[in-house]
Structure 1
Amino acid sequence: MAATSTPLPPDTENQTYLTVHALLAGGLWLPYREVFQDSLHEPPEVGSDIPFIAFLITHPTHGRALFDLGMRKAKQHAKGWPPALKETLDEFRVYGRCEEDIVDALRKGGVDPAEITKIIYRCVDTHLHWDHVGDPLPFTNAEIILGSDGKVLLDDAWPSNPNSPFMALPANMHADFIDFAEPKKYKRVAPWGPYERAVDLFGDGSLYLVDSPGHVPGHLAAATRVAPDSFVFLAGDTCHNRLCYAPGGRLVSELNHADIETARKTAKRLVELDVCYPNAVVVITHDSLRKEEMPFFPDSDLRGWAENEIEKRRRRA
Structure 2
Amino acid sequence: MVSVNDSQNCVQLHALQAGHLTLPERFFVHPSSDNLKTTVPSLSFLIKHTDSKSGNIHRLLFDLGLRHPTTKYPQPVQNHIGTRQPLTAYPDVVQSLEHGGLKPNDIDLVIYSHIHWDHIGDPESFPNSTFVVGPGTSSLFGNKSLRGGHSFFEENLLPEGRTIELPSVDDKRATKITQQSDISAVDIKFNQSWRPYGRLPRTIDLFQDGSVLLVDAPGHLPGHINLLARIQQEKYVYLAGDACHDRRILTGEKQIADWLDDSGHVCCIHVDKTEAQSTIERIRILEAEGVEIIFAHDVSWEQDTKNSHRFFGNA
TM range (shorter): 0.7 to 0.9
Alignment of 1:138 with 2:138, yes or no, is no
**AA partner of residue 194 (structure 1):** R
Say what the alpha-carbon RMSD is for the aligned residues.
Answer: 2.1
2:91 to 97, 100, 114: 100
Deviations 1:159-183 (A, max 9, x none): xxxx971123254451111123335
What residue is the counterpart of 1:35 in the other structure? Answer: 28
- Write the mapping of 1:77-92 to structure 2, written as runs, cut at 5 A: 77-78=70-71, 80-92=72-84
What number of residue pairs does the alignment pair up?
274
What residue is the counterpart of 2:252 in the other structure? Answer: 248
Alpha-carbon spacing, 1:11–1:19, altered in 2? closer, same or farther (3 Å): farther
**AA partner of residue 152 (structure 1):** S
1:236 to 233, 241, 266: 241
Displacement, 1:196?
1.9
What residue is the counterpart of 2:274 in the other structure? Answer: 261
Alignment of 1:291 with 2:302, yes or no, is yes
Displacement, 1:192?
2.6
Corresponding residue SS for 2:200: coil
Displacement, 1:99?
2.4
2:47 to 57, 70, 79: 57
Alignment of 1:113 with 2:113, yes or no, is no
Corresponding residue SS for 2:125: coil
Task: Tell me, yes or no, if the aligned pair for 1:215 and 1:237 is still in contact at 8 Å.
Answer: yes
Task: Tell me, yes or no, if the aligned pair for 1:187 and 1:203 is still in contact at 8 Å.
Answer: no
- Distance in 2 of aligned mates of 1:227 and 1:188: 26
Alpha-carbon spacing, 1:240–1:171, altered in 2? closer, same or farther (3 Å): closer
2:162 to 142, 160, 174: 174
Q: TM-score, normalised by structure 2?
A: 0.81
Q: TM-score, normalised by structure 1?
A: 0.80
Task: Tell me, yes or no, if the aligned pair for 1:25 and 1:70 is still in contact at 8 Å.
Answer: yes
**AA partner of residue 264 (structure 1):** Q
- Distance in 2 of aligned mates of 1:94 and 1:26: 11
- Distance in 2 of aligned mates of 1:32 and 1:164: 18
Alpha-carbon spacing, 1:249–1:169, altered in 2? closer, same or farther (3 Å): same
Bigger CA drift: 28-37 or 63-72? 28-37
Alpha-carbon spacing, 1:108–1:69, altered in 2? closer, same or farther (3 Å): same
Deviations 1:86-137 (A, max 9, x none): 4421111155x11221001111211010010100000xxxx11110000111
Which structure 1 residue ranges, 5 or more long, are not aligned? 1-7, 158-162, 301-317
- Distance in 2 of aligned mates of 1:227 and 1:241: 27
- Distance in 1 of aligned mates of 2:297 and 2:12: 21
- Distance in 2 of aligned mates of 1:173 and 1:155: 20
- Distance in 2 of aligned mates of 1:13 and 1:68: 26
Deviations 1:291-311 (A, max 9, x none): 1231211123xxxxxxxxxxx
- Distance in 1 of aligned mates of 2:63 and 2:243: 14
- Distance in 2 of aligned mates of 1:11 and 1:24: 36
1:68 to 63, 70, 88: 63
Which structure 2 residue ranges, 5 or more long, are not aligned? 51-55, 145-149, 175-189, 259-267
Corresponding residue SS for 2:256: coil
**AA partner of residue 82 (structure 1):** P
Corresponding residue SS for 1:204: coil
**AA partner of residue 128 (structure 2):** N
What residue is the counterpart of 1:281 in the other structure? Answer: 292
- Identity over aligned pairs, percent: 31
**AA partner of residue 122 (structure 2):** D
- Write the mapping of 1:140-159 to structure 2, written as runs, cut at 5 A: 140-154=127-141
- Distance in 2 of aligned mates of 1:269 and 1:241: 16
Corresponding residue SS for 1:137: helix
Corresponding residue SS for 2:115: coil
Alpha-carbon spacing, 1:87–1:260, altered in 2? closer, same or farther (3 Å): farther
Corresponding residue SS for 2:300: helix
- Distance in 1 of aligned mates of 2:117 and 2:281: 26
Alignment of 1:20 with 2:13, yes or no, is yes
Displacement, 1:212?
0.4
Corresponding residue SS for 1:148: coil
- Distance in 1 of aligned mates of 2:254 and 2:91: 33
